[in-house]
Structure 1
Amino acid sequence: MSASFLSIGHLARQTGTKVETIRFYEKNGLLPAPSRTEGNYRAYEPDHLNRLSFIRRARDLGFSLDQIRALLTLADDRGQSCAAIDAIANEHRAEVEKKINDLLALKAELDRMINRCGHGVVADCRIIETLSPR
């Protein structure tokens, strides 16, 4: 294997991605299939590493695979307007804000349950009472 090619293991280590996940991204068109060595091993190039790093960062930020696919397609055409990218980011931000609001409501409910607790015995526990079917 040429020094400019990267093995799947190297790619996995460099990006903190499991080998199975890299294969999944290839199978689903997020990561282009690499060339093969004479021994039929995958031979990744630095562009694969960069693309996989992009995918990993986007996943870490909570973007869906469909959103990432769209972002990658847009990123491949560097001369176009970034309005579509802004739309995807705004959509994702709205999803994050909804999750934050849901989590704040959950926290308030948990606070309410905990504050109602008399710290006595389980038979009188308001948390158990709240969680039990009526």
Structure 2
Amino acid sequence: MKIGEAAAASGVSQRMIRHYETIGLIPRPPRLHSNYRDYAAADLHRLRFIANARDLGFATEEIAELLALWSDEGRASAEVKKLALARADALHAKARKLEAMRAVLLDLAGRCSGGERPDCPIIDELSGGA
């Protein structure tokens, strides 16, 4: 199937499919006589795997590791679990930072009158003043 069909079937954009080919996450497919890429069912499965891993927050390097583990039938599931737990820890740290940012914004917004006067603690904080 052509790249547009592969994109529609996998939920991965054509641009990202080309990118994944360039960085080696998916093998370059053979070309048809018309020079169009010819994707197979296995390519779609791999693209869906990548998309699912992306949705869970895995970085490109981690996805490459997961793909290698997926292809290795002799893999130790402990390696996969280790990657998943590391990603979960990273997401937790990011969530804590985002919540702290949210708390600061809510505090600043709560101290801002929101009226017609120019004084604003939000602007003061952003400018490093007050």
**Does the alignment reach a TM-score above 0.5?**
yes
- Matched-pair contact (CA < 8 Å) for 1:7–1:42: yes
Equivalent residue of 1:123, what SS? coil
- Alignment-derived partner of residue 100 in structure 1: 95
The CA distance in 1 between the partners of 2:60 and 2:35, in whole Å, is 28
The CA distance in 1 between the partners of 2:65 and 2:126, in whole Å, is 42
- Matched-pair contact (CA < 8 Å) for 2:11–2:48: no
- Alignment-derived partner of residue 122 in structure 1: 117
Say which of 20, 24, 41 aligns to 1:25: 20
AA aligned to 2:84 is A
Cα offset for 1:118? 2.8
Tell whether 2:126 aligns with 1:131: yes
Greater Cα shift, 30-39 or 72-81:
30-39
The CA distance in 1 between the partners of 2:7 and 2:19, in whole Å, is 13
Unaligned runs of 5+ in 2: none
- Alignment-derived partner of residue 6 in structure 2: 11
AA aligned to 1:48 is D
- Alignment-derived partner of residue 3 in structure 1: none
The CA distance in 1 between the partners of 2:28 and 2:76, in whole Å, is 28
Q: Percent identity?
A: 39
AA aligned to 1:76 is S
Cα offset for 1:96? 0.2
Change (3 A) 1:115 1:43: same
TM-score by length of 1: 0.88
Equivalent residue of 1:127, what SS? helix
Greater Cα shift, 44-53 or 10-19:
10-19
Cα offset for 1:93? 0.6
Aligned length: 129
TM-score by length of 2: 0.90
The CA distance in 2 between the partners of 1:51 and 1:41, in whole Å, is 19
The CA distance in 2 between the partners of 1:87 and 1:133, in whole Å, is 41
- Matched-pair contact (CA < 8 Å) for 1:118–1:126: no
RMSD: 1.4
